[in-house]
Amino acid sequence: MKGRNGKEYRIYQVDSFTRKKFAGNPAGVVLDADGLSEAQMQAIARELNNSETAFVLAPEADDHDVRVRFFTPTTEVPSCGHATIAAHYVRAVEYALPSSRVKQKTGIGILPVEVVKVEHNYSIHMTQGPVEFCKVLDSAELTDVLAALGLTSADLDNRGPVQIVSTGHGKVLVPLKSRNKLDSLQPDFPALRQLSQKLGCNGYFPFTLDSNESGILTFSRMFAPAIGIAEDPVTGNGNGPLAAYLIRYKMVDYDGNRFEFKGKQGVAMGRPGVAHVSVDVEASEPTRVRVGGQAVILFKSEIVI
């Protein structure tokens, strides 16, 4: 692959939503990616073969500090939670940033990212896009989704529907009664891929409140074979909509105008990680969602293109 100028690019492999290497959700990060064509970004993402790779670019205007584009191995996506955590963690480490607020431009608009310095390390917290409660699956769609996930209606937690919810990138939220059932799922990936076209949503996010782990409210998994991701270890764009869903359907108790919780994901894959989630509430409705977490750099390298 011959590039435009023989420029050297810095590439990082980062595990997000964890401080432990080889846990959480792996993401690629390319700093100072200006000069790469879209085809080159896609080729790098395919080569790294993470669920997403973030390309950090210079701002285009004064209303934001940095641009980030996200690519799966097969396509560009408008936003990505764990790759946002990874990108801003790398920026914080490489540029020795203080605690600060960064305006990030992505495919869903301009939103703030909080960089929090804690002693000699960082945590990253991102504000997600507008809360949107989209399609509640009809009976035929529900039957198909349950069959593809290997579930029956008896497995569902009926306090909320199976519904597409978005905070920038929609997911089909599937509430389950049992963590054992969640952990034992073996989806029919070709069937999920076909259903994604019919539903207009490429991610399936089964979750449960069946938790016996102190400090952890939810356990979840995420499947997105339509965009080349069989299973994603820890998903910011799943846990964010989940926060809004829990408030909408009164599945949790909270005081005041904010609800906060920790959601654990990736256990069934052997890559556990924790998302720190908060949601602002007005008149009993969710209005704004933030997702944050820790990260660790696994390695960094250079590529000349």
Tell me which residues are annotated as active site.
Answer: 52
Cα-Cα end-to-end distance for the chain:
7
Instruction: Quote the CA–CA distance of 14 and 9 in Å, as a whole number.
Output: 16
Strands 273-282 and 258-265: antiparallel
Q: Which has the closest alpha carbon to 199: 156, 136, 249?
A: 136
- Pick from 122, 145, 28, 116: nearest CA to 80: 28
Picking from 28, 24, 68, the residue whose alpha carbon sits closest to that of residue 50 is 28
